Amino acid sequence: MRLKQKKTLIAASAVLAASAGGAATIVQAQGAAPTVSVTVVARQVTLQGAEALQAGPTRFNVRRSDRGEHAVNVAALKPGTTAAEFETALRRVRDPNSLFELVTLDGGVGLFGPRSQGAVTLTLKPNTSYVVVDTGGDNPRRWPLTSFTVGAATQTAVAPRRDAVVTMRDYRFTGARNLPRNGTVRFKNRGRNPHFAIAFPLRPGADVEVAERAVRRNQERALNQQVAGPPSQPQSLITPGATNDNELRFERPGRYLMVCFFETGGRGHNERGMVKTVRVR
């Protein structure tokens, strides 16, 4: 997959999540976060366990039942926007970024290459309607979606124990330099712009400076000489203020190049220096 195609495919995770409302009532004992099962296949997204959700930490376990590439996003509709209105806008959209006027992005899971399942925990908001959209296809008008609503009550479940924290700012990654090969990483967007993270595995003996420079300059050939395999997506696109806990499963230990390719003002965040080398143990 070419660098430009990677950027286009992953940046398609540009559609989704957050808004608030009303007074909350605690009605449930503290415990593990409830799980919503999400299944994706070409042109279809289905949910199980989303019938009577309460506000608070909620785990979304996403799996694909085909071999396609999927980018599943959970998004909260802004006040005054219905799921039907969002779907109508999506079917007519020319610029996917215009959808930010209707929703904000809380998080999601990218299923690319060998990865067929993943999970993320989000803090759902009371009295809020959400959409779940698969943005893995090239045509936004054909993106499948479904919706669910969160009630006024708040459950007291806790988010999963995290092994590392990464903060995304304009235009850099801060926080952990070491990530677990199998574990939970909290990503926080504390910048002014949407951000996501792609991780390129570096080959043993790779020149990190050359790899980082190649990404900043969009030099695909130079990057491929340093990379050991296809990239993964540790973090989907999220909007400013969002926090989510991602259950990550890296294919191998070693050094990874973490990059954000989202564009602001006609320039990719990678070109602005949003690149960081981390070690997966």
Q: Do both 90 and 188 map to the same domain?
A: no
Which residue range forms the structural domain that includes residue 240? 164-280
Three-state SS for 155?
Answer: coil
DSSP 43: T
Both 34 and 130 in one domain: the answer is: yes
Claim to verify: residue 21 and residue 143 sit in the same structural domain = yes
Q: Are residues 145 and 229 in the same domain?
A: no
Query: In b/e form, how buried is each residue of 83-107, taking b as 16+ CB within 10 angstroms?
Result: beebbeebeebeebeebbebbbbbb
The verdict on pTM exceeding 0.95 is: no
Residue ending a domain, among 108, 124, 150, is 150
Three-state secondary structure of 76-107:
EECCCCCHHHHHHHHHHCCCHHHHHHCEEEEE
Task: Based on the fold, state whether residues 190 and 263 are members of the same structural domain.
Answer: yes
Do 143 and 76 lie in one domain? The reply is: yes
Domain boundary among 127, 150, 173: 150
CATH number at residue 242: 2.60.40.420
> How many domains does the chain divide into?
2
From first to last of its 281 residues, what are the pLDDT tens digits of the chain?
A: 445 444 434 443 333 322 223 333 333 446 889 999 999 998 899 999 999 999 999 999 999 999 899 999 999 999 999 999 999 999 999 888 899 999 999 999 999 878 899 999 999 999 999 999 999 988 999 999 999 999 999 999 999 999 999 999 999 999 999 999 999 999 999 999 999 999 999 999 999 999 999 999 999 999 999 999 999 999 999 999 999 999 999 999 999 999 999 999 899 999 999 999 999 99
Same domain, 233 and 116: no
pLDDT at 18: 29
CA nearest 258: which of 191, 250, 266?
250
Residues 28 and 122 in one domain: yes
Residues 43 and 103 in one domain: yes
Residue 158 included in any domain: no
Does any domain span residue 180?
A: yes
Residue 104 lies in a domain: yes
Q: Are residues 265 and 215 in the same domain?
A: yes
- 8 belongs to a structural domain: no
Nearest to 26 by CA among 157, 159, 153: 153
CA 225 to mean position of chain CA atoms: 27
